[in-house]
Amino acid sequence: MKQIFLKNLSNHLDKEIELHGWVNTVRDHKKIVFLDLRDSTGTVQVVADAEASSLSPEDVVMIKGLVKKRPEKLINAKTPNGSIEVEANQITLVSKAHTLPFDMGKEELGLTLPVLLDNRTLTLRHHSVQKIFMVQEAIAEGFRKVSKELGCTEIFVPTIAASSTEGGAEVFEIKYYEHKASLIQSPQLYKQMLIPTFERVFTISHAYRAEPSVTTRHLAETIQMDCEFGFVNFEELLDLLEKVCVGMIQHAETTHRDIVEEFTKRLVLYGKIPRLTLTEAQEVIRKEFGRVVKDLKDMSPEDEQDICKWAREKKSSDFVIITHYPTAKRAFYTKPDPKDPQFSLSYDVLFRGLEICSGSERINDYQELVDVIKKRGMNPDDFELYLMAFKYGMPTEGGFSYGLERVTKQLLDLGNVRESSLFPRDMERVDVRLSRPKKLSS
């Protein structure tokens, strides 16, 4: 693999080299033709003879040529390879592209979201889209790095479950041989079951919610980054939650600072993260924004926006931790606060106005779990293996789950979570729009 990548091209000045890539733009000056060649790492200007005018955008080519310094007055200091160009000796066409449905050679794509997604495998090539997923990779990498530093073992959990394991109706059903099964709503139950094996675990897993609505925040299939810790109390969980949050996002920001700055003018504020109970947060909103909170049992999108504005301006933090949501509003395994069981030892992390993480200390007593499952109208038989983990000794434990797409969206100030999923799934789309009449291919 001796392929030269364009980001390293300036190391080959005055050398004969061979390049591979896609034609980004063609500028035909009759006797000479200027191509912008693109690979996954950058672009470079190629000077070619008239024959090259037959090339068109997205053609895949192999180019032999000489790397040269540009004349002083033609240097473009703004682009990475702006001081060099390639004088082509030989251009081989590897794959001819059809005529594009829109211009891919511009700095900004400027497409509406439906067009962006209807042409996903084309638009993903544009550097403005590609960069989102370079940052996404770094977020996941940062998550793994911090989780391992905290002593977590990586586990691989299944996505097919025997029944709706967290209650609620928003579950995708599968025909599983002669039986019914469903897709997991989260890796939650499985990571808990591994506490007696590894004490501290992490997993990057799929989660599925048959959300019946279309918002800018919801996807039917998401990537969740989960941790779970044994032998911890509530305060320790909040400390761990913060360590993962800050470590993960800092890793992505420092490794891709140029991209983060390009997407958003503001860098992340890492001031001491405020920790408020839901009730305290509602009080802050009343005081600071003079607004009466309507739903006392949860944070509305407007509440999340306001409390984050307050944290940013008053506490120099882009994050807020909200704790103690009403027990009845959280999943059955959430531990009620012994001091006031109406509220639970639960928490969310908000990042610039959006919830990116949810979690809690869990009920670790077998009988208490059996009772709460029954009380919520579910059948303990559906939780046999899960309950077994508690029946035979489970320490105090808890954990949390970060949504990869949401973290990406918030870090890069994207308008819609669909932009931060390579192939987003919602009630209207699985790759292509589900409602669209199919057309015949050539």
CA angle at 322 for the pair 370 and 369, rounded to the nearest 5°: 5
Q: CB count, 10 Å around CB of 321?
A: 21
Q: Which residues contact 140 (CB under 8 A, 6 or more apart)?
A: 204, 223, 225, 404
> Is residue 241 a contact partner of residue 356, using CB atoms and an 8 Å limit?
no
Cα–Cα distances (Å) from 439 to 119, 232, 236, 436, 442, in that order, read: 15, 57, 56, 9, 10
Residue 412's nearest CA partner among 120, 133, 143, 207 is 133
CB of 306 to a second copy, least distance (A): 32
> Is residue 241 a contact partner of residue 321, using CB atoms and an 8 Å limit?
yes
Q: Of 259 and 387, which CB lies nearer to a second copy in the complex structure?
A: 387
Q: Of 232 and 322, which CB lies nearer to a second copy in the complex structure?
A: 232
CB of 17 to a second copy, least distance (A): 14
First to last CA, the chain: 36
Query: Which one is catalytic: 70, 144, 217, 425?
Result: 217
CB of 128 to a second copy, least distance (A): 12
User: Is 218 among the residues known to form the active site?
Assistant: yes
User: Is 358 among the residues known to form the active site?
Assistant: yes
User: Is 70 among the residues known to form the active site?
Assistant: no
Q: Of 89 and 233, which CB lies nearer to a second copy in the complex structure?
A: 233
> Is residue 209 a contact partner of residue 185, using CB atoms and an 8 Å limit?
yes
Q: Of 206 and 218, which CB lies nearer to a second copy in the complex structure?
A: 206
CB of 226 to a second copy, least distance (A): 14
Q: Which amino acid is at 213?
A: S
CB of 71 to a second copy, least distance (A): 31
CA angle at 195 for the pair 190 and 197, rounded to the nearest 5°: 105
Query: Which one is catalytic: 358, 360, 401, 420?
Result: 358
| Exposure string for 107-132, b = 16+ CB within 10 A, e = fewer | eebebeeeebbbbbebbeebbebebb
Query: Which tokens in the block code for residue 12?
Result: 């080959």
CA angle at 166 for the pair 362 and 175, rounded to the nearest 5°: 145
Query: Which one is catalytic: 120, 206, 218, 425?
Result: 218
Q: Of 50 and 430, which CB lies nearer to a second copy in the complex structure?
A: 430
CA 169/CA 61 separation, integer angstroms: 51
User: Is 406 among the residues known to form the active site?
Assistant: yes
CB of 51 to a second copy, least distance (A): 18
Query: Which one is catalytic: 200, 406, 418, 429?
Result: 406
User: Is 211 among the residues known to form the active site?
Assistant: yes
Q: Of 139 and 354, which CB lies nearer to a second copy in the complex structure?
A: 139
Q: CB count, 10 Å around CB of 214?
A: 11
CB of 165 to a second copy, least distance (A): 10
Q: Of 267 and 430, which CB lies nearer to a second copy in the complex structure?
A: 430
CB of 206 to a second copy, least distance (A): 6
Query: Which one is catalytic: 228, 355, 361, 419?
Result: 355
Query: Which one is catalytic: 211, 236, 242, 302?
Result: 211
Q: Of 15 and 391, which CB lies nearer to a second copy in the complex structure?
A: 391
Q: Of 15 and 374, which CB lies nearer to a second copy in the complex structure?
A: 374
Q: CB count, 10 Å around CB of 155?
A: 18
CB of 386 to a second copy, least distance (A): 7
User: Is 425 among the residues known to form the active site?
Assistant: no
User: Is 436 among the residues known to form the active site?
Assistant: no
The catalytic residue positions are 209, 211, 217-218, 355, 358, 406
